[in-house]
Amino acid sequence: MCGIVGYIGEKQAYPILINGLYRLEYRGYDSAGITLVNETIKSYKQKGKVSVLEDFVSGKDIKGHVGIAHTRWATHGEPNNVNAHPHLSNSEKLAIVHNGIIENYDTLKKELINRGYTFHSETDTEVLINLIEDIKTKEKVDLIEAVRIALQSVIGAYAIVIASEEYPDMLIAARKGSPLVVGVGKENDFYLASDATPIIQYTDEVVYLEDEEIAILKKGEILQIKNIKNKTINPYVQKLSISLDALEKQGYEHFMLKEIYEQVNSIKDSMRGRLNPENWNIMLGGIVDYELRLMNAKRLIIVACGTSFHAGLVGEYLFEELARIPVEVEYASEFRYRKPILTEDDTVIAISQSGETADTLAAIQIAKEKGAKVLGICNVVGSSISRETHAGVFTHAGPEIGVASTKAFTAQVTVLTLMALRIAKMKGSIIASHYQQIVHELYEIPNKIEEALKTDKLIVEISEKFKNAHNFLYLGRGINFPVALEGALKLKEISYIHAEGYPAAEMKHGPIALIDENMPTVVISTNKTIYDKVMSNIQEVKARKGVIIAIVSSGDNQISESADYVIEVPHTQEILDPLVNTIPLQLLSYHIAVMRGCDVDRPRNLAKSVTVE
């Protein structure tokens, strides 16, 4: 989950590379580096964020029309200047940047050491560039062929770009498992990046490399692509749909806050052209060929990680309640190693914002190997998961830059709601009046979120009170239980406060022992059907001097009496609660993290898409 950038053309490469690294910094930010080719190879790399590298190279020779760059999320070897990328071959005539993991690097390294190679870093990447150099020398082949041969003996995931002193007007790129996009420039030049965000300001024409494809980029020549079996591939050039504007903060202090406020529109966008307010019909073109299969499904299996897993849990309530289809929700990382029992009758739904999460990708491959059909719910167009699945629905939430997922979560829940309602209507498992009630309310959700965002000021005051808390509990029942899990995850990942989400009734089976005057407990209390149950759970906490922050429906007058802090959100259909109730939890985690001086958009130890297992 590193970020890679490359450029070859007539422009000065350095500004393109350094800006590209800033765009990709959300993918990893523990060290960064650049290599420029100007007759000779010059490399600069530093531990720390891209800004540290930029300071380090100021005043140095950064000329060159060809270059590669990298921002790192360490897997092999701790974050330091030596393990930072780019890595050079022993002759220092070849340089490489890499995103992914070479699983058999140790075996390859031992063979190379026996052949006299020496290694400076602990990385798998340095092994690959020396393997390429060794094959080039030993087999007396050109660099392209050496790369192709080397990649045949590599096990693992890679997106790589290689620059060389011998071929100063060429870059070679390849991928397997990790994402890599080629930007076809307007001036006979080429851009390379882990995703399109560093490229969009230069060109909207891109080629998403497929697994085991090698791209050869030569100055003033057309793009060549072949696979590692030496078969020539015709480049499939696509037009980018994202705007540069969407990549800027637009006056917000952080991308996360901007993305929280964008949910009014991102949910509209995820419903656009799918929920028709004229006749309230739902149309999901991306899975139309699989609707009958979903209708007759004996069960559904949802696989995902992190926040997407929590969206999957909300999906379980939606499909079971509305479409009456049993659902199993699986952590992809567990699913892939648990020898799951699957047949060709099974339908799996894989949820991923980035579309690049390695565990989810692997779960998809296992499901496909067992003959199951896999539908994807993704946010990034052109991502690996969107191409690996049989069909799917894009969430259209726009680029999500903040590492903590916010608008992607509510867009995923919106798409799951549309899918469950569509299948429920086709199956007749929902009466027409109830269907009408929910679709009308769903169409109103963006306005309800606009209302919920007005609690921001109050949440700043509440955050002030709890910014120094050491622990938090989040409680929810029914469809609000996954929302409690999501609220806890948000606080954990950006404020580093330990937090747990729990089904409220589960408290008395253990966690209630944690309750005292120092344990703030957030209780999502908008449920209508089990309101009294939630009420008694709150009493149980109050009885142990716990401090209650209650999320209630506006106009609530009971729970508000018992809670210490009350955040009112607009009333909605209980089945749609997660879309509204998540907002104050996102804001609470955001403000507490800001007050603790945390780097909200780049929380420690995390990265936006986890492309290694």
Indicate which residues carry an active-site annotation. Answer: 2, 608
| 131 or 484: CB nearest ligand AGP | 484
Question: At closest approach, how far in Å is the CB of 368 from ligand AGP?
Answer: 18
Phi and psi at residue 206, to the nearest 5°: -135, 160
Closest by CA position to 66, among listed 203, 216, 199, 169: 169
| 347 or 609: CB nearest ligand AGP | 609
| 73 or 202: CB nearest ligand AGP | 73
Q: Which of the 8 DSSP states describes residue 411?
A: H
Please tell me the distance from the alpha carbon of residue 501 to that of residue 517, in angstroms, as a whole number. Answer: 18
Q: CB of 256 within 8 A of CB of 494?
A: yes
Distances (CA, A) of 289 to 286, 384, 388, 424: 8, 21, 17, 16
Closest by CA position to 23, among listed 215, 181, 187, 217: 181
Please tell me the distance from the alpha carbon of residue 265 to that of residue 135, in angstroms, as a whole number. Answer: 53
| 181 or 550: CB nearest ligand AGP | 181
Please tell me the distance from the alpha carbon of residue 478 to that of residue 317, in angstroms, as a whole number. Answer: 8
Q: CB 222: neighbour CB atoms within 10 A?
A: 11
Radius of gyration of the chain (CA): 25
| 207 or 411: CB nearest ligand AGP | 411
Q: CB of 216 within 8 A of CB of 172?
A: yes
Question: At closest approach, how far in Å is the CB of 183 from ligand AGP?
Answer: 22
Question: At closest approach, how far in Å is the CB of 400 from ligand AGP?
Answer: 9
**292 Cβ neighbours under 8 A, 6+ residues apart:** none
In the sheet with 181-184, reading across from the earlier edge strand, the strands are: 40-47, 31-38, 66-72, 3-8, 190-193, 181-184, 205-208, 238-239
| 13 or 314: CB nearest ligand AGP | 314
Question: At closest approach, how far in Å is the CB of 307 from ligand AGP?
Answer: 3
Question: At closest approach, how far in Å is the CB of 255 from ligand AGP?
Answer: 12
**490 Cβ neighbours under 8 A, 6+ residues apart:** 404, 406, 585, 586, 589, 590
| 491 or 512: CB nearest ligand AGP | 491
Question: At closest approach, how far in Å is the CB of 519 from ligand AGP?
Answer: 24
Q: Which residue is nearest to ligand AGP (CB)?
A: 306
Q: CB 574: neighbour CB atoms within 10 A?
A: 19
Question: At closest approach, how far in Å is the CB of 96 from ligand AGP?
Answer: 26
* Cα dihedral 577, 583, 589, 591 sign: negative
Q: CB of 474 within 8 A of CB of 488?
A: yes
- 3-state helix/strand/coil string of 304-370: ECHHHHHHHHHHHHHHHHHHCCCEEEEEHHHHCCCCCCCCCCCEEEEEECCCCCHHHHHHHHHHHHC
Pull the structure tokens for residue 40. Answer: 């000779």
Strand partners, 182: 192, 207
Strand-pair category, 520-524 with 232-233:
unpaired
| 355 or 478: CB nearest ligand AGP | 355
| 353 or 526: CB nearest ligand AGP | 353
Q: Which residues bind ligand AGP (CB under 6 A)?
A: 305-308, 352-354, 357, 360, 403-405, 493, 609-610
Strand-pair category, 547-553 with 520-524:
parallel
Question: At closest approach, how far in Å is the CB of 141 from ligand AGP?
Answer: 38
Question: At closest approach, how far in Å is the CB of 357 from ligand AGP?
Answer: 3
